Structure 1
Amino acid sequence: MSTKPLVLSAEEVSRLNEAYLHKEPAEILKLAFDKVENISFACSFGAEDVALVDMIVKIKPDAKIFYLDTDLLFAETYEVRDRILEKYRANLIKYSPLLTLQEQALQRGADLWQSDPNGCCGIRKVEPLQRALGELDAWITGIRREQSPTRAQAGVVELDTKFNLVKFNPLVMWTDQEVWRYIVENEVPYNKMHDQGYPSIGCIHCTREVKPGEDPRAGRWAGHAKTECGLHQ
């Protein structure tokens, strides 16, 4: 992992997090682009992320936005990607795994997502993310405190010690209702699977419908003691 110096000091990150914790997402995005030139938004095309694309292109139309194409995304995810491109002409950059699905099966066995989901995520998500973040000083994500217990203490500005970067989470304090109100009011294209009981959408083999009353991320890696793909601490 890179040992390059952080673009913001720990003290400044702490101060900015406290000052901006309850600011509107647009203000946090403006802060991010003002403070860091070499920054990109990691987009998964979920509800939070398409809302952020809409906000970002209104602030900085040429902002870098990258996504991880695992080769196992739902057809609906690719469809919303195309609709996002058509509406916003966003500066989308694709990162793919170094191994094809066939090569992964030969090296690690068929259905790795079932036998070793962490290993599969490592190959198809974490390693491509490391490449995407390797030349950046900071990144923007769509994580929210409400999404899961592992994200309940996330800040709007953080030191990402895993990737040695500064991390901005503009929606961290927003509720699910606030996200969807923004999507509706701004006519943001979104994944239609959200209307069919899928609040969190990943790869086809590791995502299922969420039943009423379940945790929003219960549909991810069902049957495994796993709630995160390794992109976030």
Structure 2
Amino acid sequence: MATRDPWPPSETELAEVAAALERAPATGVIAWAHERTEGRLVLACSFQDCVVVDLVSQVDPAMPVVFLDTGFHFPETLAYVETVRQRYDLRLVVTTPGPEADPWPCGTERCCELRKVEPLARVLQDQRGWVTGLKRVDAPTRATTPVVAWDAARGVLKVNPLATWTDEDIARYQQDHGLPVHPLVAAGYRSIGCAPTTRPTAPDEHPRAGRWAGTDKVECGLHLA
């Protein structure tokens, strides 16, 4: 009788796997994680685009897809979520913040903590891993993102199948596969978060320059916890 690999994976295993999968197709990274977690894996998607949704659907069409509804998303984002949900018949899990978030509206100190970080942590309590859409080119804070790693704060596997992709790779994949594009992209929004704290960016600006503009904030906390 075959024995299962011990859980959780060791640091040595994850380092070896991350190195082995560094140049693997994104679907290969997802497939490895799906098998290693025995299917106890979710995708957390911001729905800035749906490339990672398309890739996950090729490996496990039934994988739960988590959307963190902060209560401050653009109407266009909510409409885009529904478009993608229908296209892939997603097992969509929509989180909403509890009443403790009410005193902390968008842009305040604890908004992201209470509307994103804590809701995701609750979802992951029953899982062994989560898939993200992180790319190394997104921000200096993400420049060393491995394709797989251990999320020590949440006690789960963290899977970043797009870590090595560029923005050009994303655009090319969308075009080649006829994927729906977020409606705000045409209006100059190249990084899309909550409406009160997101603005369009000029072609010569970094795509994330429009997030929390005028502040020194660069991350919501999901990838720093």
Instruction: State TM-score, norm by structure 2.
Output: 0.92
Change (3 A) 1:204 1:6: farther
2:158 alignment partner, one of 162, 167, 170: 167
Please state whether the residue corresponding to 1:32 is helix, strand or coil: helix
Aligned residue for 1:229?
Answer: 220
Aligned residue for 1:205?
Answer: 196
Decide whether the 8 Å contact of 2:69 with 2:96 is kept in 1. Answer: yes
Larger RCO of the pair (alpha carbons < 8 Å, separation 6+) = 1
1:180 alignment partner, one of 164, 167, 171: 171
Instruction: Name the CA distance, whole Å, in 1 between partners of 2:136 and 2:11.
Output: 21
Please state whether the residue corresponding to 1:218 is helix, strand or coil: helix
Q: What per-residue deviation string (whole Å, max 9, x for no partner) do you get for residues 121-141 of structure 1?
A: 111111111111122111100
More helix by share: 1
Aligned residue for 1:136?
Answer: 127
Question: How many residue pairs are counted as aligned between the two chains?
Answer: 218
Q: What per-residue deviation string (whole Å, max 9, x for no partner) do you get for residues 1-28 of structure 1?
A: xxxx963211111110000011111111
Aligned residue for 1:42?
Answer: 44
4+ residue segments displaced more than 2 Å: none
Decide whether the 8 Å contact of 1:45 with 1:190 is kept in 2. Answer: no
Say whether residues 1:66 and 2:66 are aligned partners.
yes
**Offset of 1:226 from its aligned partner?**
0.3
Change (3 A) 1:70 1:6: farther
Decide whether the 8 Å contact of 1:69 with 1:94 is kept in 2. Answer: yes
Aligned residue for 1:104?
Answer: 102
Structure 2 residue runs of 5 or longer lacking an equivalent are 1-5
Say whether residues 1:150 and 2:141 are aligned partners.
yes
Aligned residue for 2:30?
Answer: 29
Instruction: Name the CA distance, whole Å, in 2 between partners of 1:211 and 1:61.
Output: 36
**Offset of 1:211 from its aligned partner?**
1.9
Please state whether the residue corresponding to 2:219 is helix, strand or coil: coil
Q: What per-residue deviation string (whole Å, max 9, x for no partner) do you get for residues 105-156 of structure 1?
A: 4xx5xxx434x3x311111111111111122111100000011000000000
Instruction: Name the CA distance, whole Å, in 1 between partners of 2:198 and 2:133.
Output: 19
Decide whether the 8 Å contact of 1:6 with 1:164 is kept in 2. Answer: no
- Comparing 55-64 with 200-209, greater Cα deviation is found at 55-64
Decide whether the 8 Å contact of 2:106 with 2:194 is kept in 1. Answer: no
**Offset of 1:58 from its aligned partner?**
2.0
Instruction: Name the CA distance, whole Å, in 2 between partners of 1:217 and 1:161.
Output: 26
Instruction: Name the CA distance, whole Å, in 2 between partners of 1:132 and 1:225.
Output: 29
- Comparing 149-158 with 63-72, greater Cα deviation is found at 63-72
